[in-house]
Amino acid sequence: MFGTKGAMTSARLVESMLDLIQARGYSGTGLNTVVEHAHAPKGSLYFHFPEGKEALGEKAIELAAARFRALVIDSASEPETPGDMIARVIGVLTGILTDSDFQLGCPVSVVTLEMGAQSERLRDACANAFESWITPVTEYLIAHGHPPAAARTLATAVVSMVEGAMIVSRAQRSVEPLRCAAHALTVLVDQRATEIAETSP
């Protein structure tokens, strides 16, 4: 649809929107700030996103969803225990928090909380983002011996715990809540695997 330059501008706008949502949320992010942050020409935003802020926000959520999904799938690719997978994901998130001096958060959480009551389009993008993380964790747990229904329950709890721990860690400016999450989740995912192994014929 656009030439290379146009595609690059569009990608920079989405990337800037994502950066700003992570730091300060959706409502507090003005479109002029997005254009400045992206070093994009004035007018480029309405050229690439004629539907405006909601469409740009949706693309930012989709980008965040794809990145975290890639991290989950990458962390699940080594033939280790589920606890090792959890530790690797939480290790990366801990690095993001400390490298940013606790200034970044999950964009999907904040958009859910700000826009869930106001924009079905953004709420739907957030629901899909969470689902895109729960699904590969479920598949991974099934591959490691958890029964399907239990794996889905546990994977949903894993995603919830990681989301919550990111928030509590950011508020407290401490990685301790993420460490506690890793510990609790490891008990859950590995112990179950152990139980299953022990009760297998």
Interface ranges with a second copy (CB under 8 A): 23-25, 27-28, 102-106, 108-110, 112-118, 123, 126-127, 129-131, 152-154, 156-157, 159-165, 167-168, 170-173, 176-177, 179-181, 183-185, 187-188, 191
Looking at the Cβ atoms of 56 and 159, the one nearer to a second copy is 159
Q: What sign does the CA torsion over 67, 73, 75, 77 have?
A: negative
Place of tokens 């926000």: 57
Looking at the Cβ atoms of 54 and 114, the one nearer to a second copy is 114
Looking at the Cβ atoms of 55 and 157, the one nearer to a second copy is 157
Looking at the Cβ atoms of 48 and 182, the one nearer to a second copy is 182
Separation of alpha carbons 126 and 141, rounded Å: 23
Helices (H) and strands (E) counted in the chain, each on its own, are: 9, 0
Distance in Å, CB of 73 to a second copy, minimum: 19
Distance in Å, CB of 181 to a second copy, minimum: 5
Looking at the Cβ atoms of 81 and 153, the one nearer to a second copy is 153
Separation of alpha carbons 35 and 13, rounded Å: 7
Distance in Å, CB of 166 to a second copy, minimum: 8
Distance in Å, CB of 9 to a second copy, minimum: 26
Separation of alpha carbons 146 and 140, rounded Å: 9
Amino acid at 118: Q
Distance in Å, CB of 103 to a second copy, minimum: 4
Separation of alpha carbons 47 and 102, rounded Å: 34
Distances 89 to 54, 95, 151, 162, 174 between C-alpha atoms, Å: 29, 10, 18, 9, 17
Distance in Å, CB of 125 to a second copy, minimum: 9
Separation of alpha carbons 178 and 80, rounded Å: 21
CB 6 within 8 A of CB 48: yes
Looking at the Cβ atoms of 15 and 114, the one nearer to a second copy is 114
